Amino acid sequence: MTGNQNEFIQLDCPRCGATLQMEGDKLTCQHCGAKLILKRSAARQETRPGNHQASGTIVSGLSLNPFAYYDPQSGLEAFSILVPQGWQVSGGVTWVTARPAAPAQIGLQITNPNGLEAFEAFPTLYFTWTNNPLVQMTMPAGSLYFGYEVRKPLAAGETMRQFVLPRYRRIQDLAIVDEGPATELLQVVTHNQANAGQAGQYSTDSARVRLQYTHNNQPVGEEMSGVAEYTRISIPGIFGNAENVYWSMGYLTSFRSNREHLESYADLYRAIFASIQINPAWTAVVQQVIQGLTSNTIRSINQIGALSRQISRNFNEISDMNMRGWQERSAAYDRISENFSQTIRGVDPYYDPNTGQNVELPSGYTQAWSTPLGEYILSDDPNFNPNIGSNQTWTPLTPPKD
């Protein structure tokens, strides 16, 4: 917030006219319950009819715009996501050819340029472990095994503490103020049915941590969640049966804001996460790259002997598992978008006549509209109509269809 905040510390509720006290960028009228999003306007910004302006602040509900990321390596759209209007998107797809069984990773950050608010998605961390003494001699803990980090499997909470936070949140005054399982997230991403038929024993775990720290002398609150997946395979060897464990920490996301207002943004961040759509055509390209890279890697293992054959067998297991993993990860994000509101409160379902599909948007608003371009506006103001003064056609959303 700038020093000009004191010039407009009071607003009138557009529904009932009661005085609103400014408390961050989201307000709830204590008299009638109307929810409002405050948007700072630039000095040259014009006020559209239907917006309510008070000394440089526009009250017009919530606007979400579609963002599609195109992978520069393949030229295809990799994924799409809904982004609050005016927020900035950075990151995208990077390729790690040194990890042939899982070469593509996504890292994304959506930030409010005028505040602390941000949604972030982190790349999956891939690990492997074995009790095979031959492999342990050449691949000690901390080394890389076909791009997988060699680490003993840990519970999701310990993985969050030991690997995720030190790598993605290296902040001096970082403190964990609450932690536990990410039960709802696990429910919408788990794919036990698909993995039931694969070799080995498959299991999952989840973790959620609430963080506090300071940024630019401002108190920040952040919540980070993720799901750990484990596949244990027992195979015969010259020293008897050995267990190989392939595990990962994925679906890593976080949201943050000013510490006092973190909960008020939770609905918005959940809706952003629920809107992620992975493009099946891009997933198919990733699978083709995996096939090509793994075939080349296996051909390069030309040593003779038990160790060479064991390495080749292990690598086949890794590549087969991740081929299925890419298919399942894409399907899991489809399930997230379809079932998120059924397991996590904070989003409401609508039917979008422009797309002919149901969509999940932040809860607490009484009206929602969309355009053929995939943009959305939500409002709790009964007098607000986005078609007034707009050069676009806004269509009201209706209750979801079965």
Question: Looking at residue 106, what is its pLDDT?
Answer: 93
- Asked whether 385 and 66 are in contact (CB, 8 A), the reply is no
**53 CB-near residues (< 8 Å, 6+ apart):** 41, 47, 59
Q: How far apart are CA 352 and CA 275, in angstroms?
A: 14
Of 56-70, 180-194, 346-360, 362-376, minimum mean pLDDT range: 56-70
More confident residue, 29 or 148: 148
Question: Looking at residue 247, what is its pLDDT?
Answer: 93
Question: Looking at residue 19, what is its pLDDT?
Answer: 57
C-alpha neighbours within 13 Å on the C-beta side of residue 205: 16
- Asked whether 166 and 208 are in contact (CB, 8 A), the reply is no
136 to 126, 131, 234, 337: CA distances (angstroms): 18, 7, 16, 41
Question: Looking at residue 2, what is its pLDDT?
Answer: 40
Average of per-residue pLDDT across 361-389? 86
Question: Looking at residue 60, what is its pLDDT?
Answer: 44
Query: How much of the chain, in percent, has pLDDT values that exceed 90?
Result: 33
Question: Looking at residue 164, what is its pLDDT?
Answer: 97
How would residue 171 be classed by pLDDT, with cut points 50, 70 and 90? very high
By residue count, the chain amounts to 402
Please name the residue that has the structure tokens 């699978």: 287
* Per-residue model confidence as pLDDT tens digits over 2-26: 444 333 334 555 445 555 555 554 5
Answer yes or no: is pLDDT of 132 > 90.
Answer: no
How would residue 28 be classed by pLDDT, with cut points 50, 70 and 90? low
Query: How much of the chain, in percent, has pLDDT values that exceed 70?
Result: 68
Sequence ranges of the domains in the chain: 3-60, 66-343, 347-396
Other Cβ atoms within 10 Å of 132 Cβ, number:
21
* Per-residue model confidence as pLDDT tens digits over 350-363: 899 998 988 878 77
Question: Looking at residue 188, what is its pLDDT?
Answer: 76
Average of per-residue pLDDT across 257-266? 89
Residue 335, sorted as left (phi over 0), alpha (psi -120 to 50) or beta, turns out to be alpha
**353 CB-near residues (< 8 Å, 6+ apart):** 370, 395, 397, 398
Answer yes or no: is pLDDT of 55 > 50.
Answer: no
Least Cα distance to 93 among 75, 111, 119 occurs for 75
Question: Looking at residue 90, what is its pLDDT?
Answer: 95
Average of per-residue pLDDT across 378-398? 87
